[in-house]
Amino acid sequence: MARVSIPSKDQISDELKDVFQRMEQRGGQVLNIHKVMAHCPNVGRAFLRLGNAILFRGSVPPKLRELAILRVGDLAEATYEWTQHVPIGLRAGLTEQQIKALHQWKDSPLFSDQERAILRYTDEVAQNIRVSEETFKAVRDSLTEEQVVELTTTIGYYGMVSRILEALEIELEENKQPLR
C-alpha cells in the first residue's frame, strides 16, 4: 500500500485535472505516479512537463533512451518503473533478450558498442554521479552535445522517479502485473 494517498479525480487541483484530461484525450493513461504528484500541483505539473519532454520531444533515439531508463529502474530495483517501461522499450526496438540481460549487461553479447557506452554511462551517472573520461568520450563519440545533455537529464529524472516510487511505495495500477 502506498505511503501517501492516491488522489481521486475530485481531489486533484483544477489545473492538473485539465492536464490529466488532455492526457486521457490523447489516449494516455493517468498513472499512479502522476496522481501522487498531484499532491503538490506546481511540482507535479513541472514533473509531468519534463517527463513528457524526455519521452515525446527528445533527440536521443528512443531505443537508447529506454535502455537508459530501464537500466536506471534496474539499478534502483524499481518494479513500477521497470513494469511501465518494458513495453515502451520493446516498442522502441529493444528485444526481450536485451531487456532480460540488462541486469548483467557487461557479460552479455546482445548490446552494440554504442548501447554498451550508454549503459556504462548510465551506471556511472546513476551510481557514482561522476563519469570517467573514457566513459564520457565513448558516449560523446556517438551522440551530439544536445543528446549527451538530454541523456544525462533522462538518467537523473528517472533516478528521481524511481526514488519517489520506492520511497512512497507507489503501487502499480490495478490493470498492471509486475514484470520483475
Same domain flag for 69 and 52:
no
Same domain flag for 67 and 50:
no
Same domain flag for 93 and 52:
no
Give residue 81's domain range: 62-167
Task: Answer yes or no: is 98 within a domain.
Answer: yes
What is the dihedral sign for C-alpha 60, 62, 67, 73? positive
Overall number of domains in the chain: 2
Among 120, 111, 125, smallest CA distance to 160 is for 125
Q: Nearest 10 degrees: CA dihedral of 74, 84, 41, 126?
A: 20
Same domain flag for 81 and 100:
yes
- 38 has pLDDT over 90: yes
Q: Please tell me the distance from the alpha carbon of residue 159 to that of residue 73, in angstroms, as a whole number.
A: 7
Same domain flag for 44 and 73:
no
Task: Answer yes or no: is 177 within a domain.
Answer: no
pLDDT tens-digit map of 128-140: 999 999 999 999 9
Q: Please tell me the distance from the alpha carbon of residue 77 to that of residue 148, in angstroms, as a whole number.
A: 25
Query: Quick one: pLDDT at residue 176?
Result: 81
pLDDT tens-digit map of 58-93: 999 999 999 999 999 999 999 999 999 999 999 999
Q: Answer for the pair 53, 149: CB distance below 8 angstroms, yes or no.
A: no
Cell of 153: 537529464
Q: Answer for the pair 73, 103: CB distance below 8 angstroms, yes or no.
A: no
Q: Answer for the pair 65, 89: CB distance below 8 angstroms, yes or no.
A: no
Task: Answer yes or no: is 173 within a domain.
Answer: no
Same domain flag for 69 and 157:
yes
Same domain flag for 98 and 26:
no
Cell of 168: 512512497
Query: Quick one: pLDDT at residue 177?
Result: 83
Query: Quick one: pLDDT at residue 127?
Result: 97
Task: Answer yes or no: is 80 within a domain.
Answer: yes
Q: Answer for the pair 73, 99: CB distance below 8 angstroms, yes or no.
A: no
Same domain flag for 26 and 100:
no
Q: What is the 3-state secondary structure (H, E, C) of 18-71?
A: HHHHHHHHCCCCCCHHHHHHCCCHHHHHHHHHHHHHHHHCCCCCHHHHHHHHHH
Cell of 25: 484525450
Same domain flag for 101 and 144:
yes
Cell of 155: 538518467
Rounded mean pLDDT of 170-175? 91
Same domain flag for 50 and 135:
no
Same domain flag for 49 and 111:
no
Query: Quick one: pLDDT at residue 174?
Result: 87
Q: Answer for the pair 82, 75: CB distance below 8 angstroms, yes or no.
A: no
Class of residue 55 by CB neighbours under 10 A (exposed 0-12, middle 13-18, buried 19+): middle
pTM for the predicted model, two decimal places: 0.95
Task: Answer yes or no: is 178 within a domain.
Answer: no
